[in-house]
Amino acid sequence: MDQDLRNTLARASEGLAVPEPDLPGLLARGRLAVRRRSAARRRALLAAAVIALVLGVGAALSLSSLRDPGPAGGPDPAPEPGLGLRDLPRGAPPTIPYCTGADLVTGTGAPVSGGCQTLVHRGGSTIGFDDEGVRLVDDGRLTLLDPRRPGPWVPALSQDGRYAAWITSAGSVGRLLVFDLVHATRVASVELPTGQVWVPGIDELGRVYVVNFENTGQTWVFDIRSGAMGRVRGMPFSRGGNATYVTADGLALRDSFYFDTGEKTSTSVEGVVTPDRRFVSRDVVPVGWSSWSTDRRRVVQETRDGFWVQSAGDLDHHVRLQVPTDGRVAASPVWESDDTVLMSFDPTATPGSTVGDPDQGFGMPTRRTWTLRCEADSGECEVALGPGNGGDVRGSMYR
Amino acid sequence: MGEDEDFALFAAARWSTLYRLAYLLTGSRPAAEDLLQVSLETVYVKWSRVRRMEAPDAYVRKVMVNAAVAGRRRLARRREVLSDRTPDLPSSSPEQGVLDHQLLWPLVCALPSRQRAVIVLRFYEDLTEAAVADLLGCSVGTVKSQSHDAVRALRRGIAAAGDREVVSES
């Protein structure tokens, strides 16, 4: 096996066409990263200075200092003091299943010993998965749905929590699995022509979308009620197979990403999938990768300015979630209810560590992760679970 | 030479080698390009220090490998998606052994990111277990168990390919 692996990896590497580097773009993004890091450091230093003042260094703020904010329109205005994790009030634990150490709290029943795993929650249903398979998480118990690890993306849940769908891969063959979570039964197992696919979601017409990673032009739709599966025609190409979310009757594809364009938010092309499986573009909206509340009134997404909650009826109206600045959000936000969002937060991470800085440490192990709860109306946040809890709660992508 | 020019020369000279490593770590061309760009941007932020290191290439590799291993969480935030695309490989020749390499590569791609990183570092970069442990920031025992689990999963995949389900319910 050792020599076979060496040969296989060497051949995979040698046969590769290497793209040309975009050095000007690389330098531009690097300079931007430097500026962002400097801004974060200034906020941290100012927060430390404020704390020192409060602790009784002896100086008192004078009115003259308050009257002199600096030159108007200056290139480097003083940033606001950063909000720290320790500044947040302590709230109740999550009302959806969560991990406490290695155990899984599923509801009013006793915790499931050793049951902590990656969780997906939507519409009142929760499933968990690890290398040993996918399970339905119910009050006090786990029910094995399938013994294979889903991959390469997390399972998707329907809006009402009734169905779950995901891909398993064996070699170059992919298989779509669909489960009825009310009865914990499998309703479909469909072999796919390729293993390079994922399930971004299930719309409210009961249709499961299967999208090719590298080319959204290859998208299939599986109708749960009829059991029919077919290719969606007219899908625009989106590099990287980035379907950003599923709507009530179709899906949205990434149009631009703020990381590439310098804009504050990403944008998506929304479209309807007709009964005869044609994609019809509808609109370009200022929403990228996101998670929608189960009542579809709001959406939460990350922007250049942090995490926003936007109203579905007026996407220009947004509330900024007051996430602490002494760390980073470690996983996708998940809607605990239609009014609150849960997020895993790592207080030891920095802007540099989010792109893999070995000096800061990697993997953000669970023992360092806190779970925050943020109110969608006010943006205010509190601590729902202290460090070592929360597992790896992820959010589905829905409208 | 200014720091920017120095960095650009460094990145250009190592781009091909690093891209190939990124591809093996991610199993996907778009993901490899994303990983490489993000890693080099990290290096750029610290370039004034990195350029004075004894082994800047080793630092870049460490950044990239750890970014790939942490990739699912970080990429979950960014909602980028990895691919296990099967490259076009020529049919295996007898002198390379009896194992079908077109089967083995997709199985490697399907491994969890940390196991895949261990396999790539051990059998492509030819690093020792101790060197891999140092790079990943874990113990040698963890590297051994990750490698063992990965090989076991690969063997399972090879065996499963022999009796694959083909019935569709649609």
The DSSP secondary structure of chain B, one letter per residue, reads: --HHHHHHHHHHHHHHHHHHHHHHHHSSHHHHHHHHHHHHHHHHHTHHHHTTSS-HHHHHHHHHHHHHHTHHHHHHHHT-----PPP--PPPPGGG-SS-HHHHHHHHHTS-HHHHHHHHHHHTS---HHHHHHHHTS-HHHHHHHHHHHHHHHHHHHHHHHT-------
> CB–CB of B70 and A363 under 8 A?
yes
Q: Identify the closest residue of chain A to B18 by CA–CA distance.
A: A18
Does B64 contact A356 at a Cβ distance shorter than 8 Å? Answer: yes
Pick B137's closest partner by Cβ from A8, A19, A362.
A362
Measured CA to CA, the distance from residue A262 to residue A277 in angstroms comes to 35
User: Quick one: three-class SS letters along chain A?
Assistant: CHHHHHHHHHHHHHCCCCCCCCHHHHHHHHHHHHHHHHHHHHHHHHHHHHHHHHHHHCCCCCHHHHCCCCCCCCCCCCCCCCCCHHHCCECCCCCCCEEECCEEECCCCCCECCCCCEEEEECCEEEEEECCEEEEEECCEEEEEECCCCCCCCCEECCCCCEEEEEEEECCEEEEEEEECCCCEEEEEEEECCCCEEEEEECCCCEEEEEECCECCCEEEEECCCCCEEECECCCCCECCCEEEECCCEEEEEEECHHHHCCCCCEEEEEEECCCCEEEEEEEECCCCEEECCCCCEEEEEECCEEEEEECCEEEEEEECCCCCCCEECCCCEECCCCEEEEEEECCCCCCHHHCCCCCCCCCCHHHCEEEEEECCCCCEEEEECCCECCEEEECCCC
Joined together, the tokens standing for residue A184 give 């914990």
Q: What is the 3-state secondary structure (H, E, C) of A180-234?
A: ECCCCEEEEEEEECCCCEEEEEECCCCEEEEEECCECCCEEEEECCCCCEEECEC
What is the pLDDT, as a whole number, of residue A274? 95
Q: Are A208 and A178 in contact (CB under 8 A)?
A: yes
Interface probe for A, chosen from B41, B95, B122, B145 (most Cβ of A below 10 Å), is: B41
What is the predicted pLDDT for the residue at B5? 81
Nearest in space to A43 (alpha carbons), one of A326, A320, A323: A326
Q: CB distance A357–B63 less than 8 Å?
A: yes
Q: Are A295 and A55 in contact (CB under 8 A)?
A: no
- Rounded Cα–Cα distance for residues A50 and A68 (Å): 17
Of residues A80 and B46, the one with the higher pLDDT is B46
At residue A283, what are phi and psi to the nearest 5 degrees?
-165, 160
Amino acid A198: pLDDT: 87
Q: CB A392 to CB B164 under 8 A?
A: no
Q: Give dist(CA A46, CA A44) in Å, integer.
A: 5
**Short-list A43, A144, A23, CA closest to A84:** A43
Chain B residue at shortest CA distance from A151: B110
Distance from CA of A330 to the nearest CA of B (A): 7
Q: Determine phi and psi for A348, rounding to 5 degrees.
A: -95, -5
Contacts B79 to A, Cβ<8 Å: 242, 244, 288-289, 332, 397
Q: Is the separation of the CB atoms in A213 and A229 below 8 Å? A: no
Please provide the size of chain A in residues.
Answer: 399
Q: Give average pLDDT by consecutive 10-residue segment, chain A, 399 residues.
A: 88 83 78 68 49 38 29 32 83 87 75 81 89 87 90 84 90 87 95 86 95 80 95 76 84 75 78 94 85 89 86 86 85 87 79 41 53 93 79 45
Q: Residues 6 or more apart from B151 whose CB is under 8 A from it?
A: A1
Rounded CA separation A14/A6 (Å): 12
This complex has an ipTM of: 0.79
Question: Residue type at A190?
Answer: V
pLDDT of residue A50: 46
pLDDT tens for B118-163 read 999 999 999 999 999 988 888 888 899 999 999 998 888 888 776 4
Chain B positions touching A228 (Cβ under 8 A) are 170
> Cα(B79)–Cα(A332) distance, rounded to whole angstroms?
8
Using a CB-CB cut-off of 8 Å, the residues of chain A touching B87 are 12, 15-16
Q: Which residues of A touch B28 (CB under 8 A)?
A: 213-214
Q: Are A140 and A106 in contact (CB under 8 A)?
A: yes
Cis peptide upstream of residue A155 (ω within 30 degrees of 0): no
Chains A & B: contacts with CB separation below 8 Å: 236
CB contact (8 A) between residue A33 and residue B44: yes
In chain A, which residues have their Cβ closer than 8 Å to the Cβ of B70? Answer: 356, 362-364
Q: Which of B4, B66, B79, B102 is the best mutation test for A, with the most CBs of A within 10 A?
A: B79
Task: Tell me the nearest-neighbour CA distance from A368 into chain B, angstroms.
Answer: 14
**What is the structure's pLDDT at B167?**
30
Contact between A175 and B165 using a beta-carbon 8 Å cutoff:
yes
Beta partners for residue A126, in sequence order: A121, A137
Collect all residues with Cβ–Cβ distance below 8 Å to B66 and sequence separation of at least 6: A356, A358, A362, A363, B135, B136, B137
The confidence score (pLDDT) of residue B31 equals: 84
Q: How far is B48 from chain A (nearest CA, A)?
A: 12
Nearest to A214 among B30, B90, B103 (CB): B30
Assigned token pair, B149: 């689990």
Q: What is the pLDDT of residues B68-85, one digit of tens each?
A: 887 643 333 333 333 333
Interchain proximity B170–A175, CB inside 8 Å: no
Answer whether A343's CB lies under 8 Å from A335's CB. no
The closest CB to that of B89, out of A2, A15, A352, belongs to A15
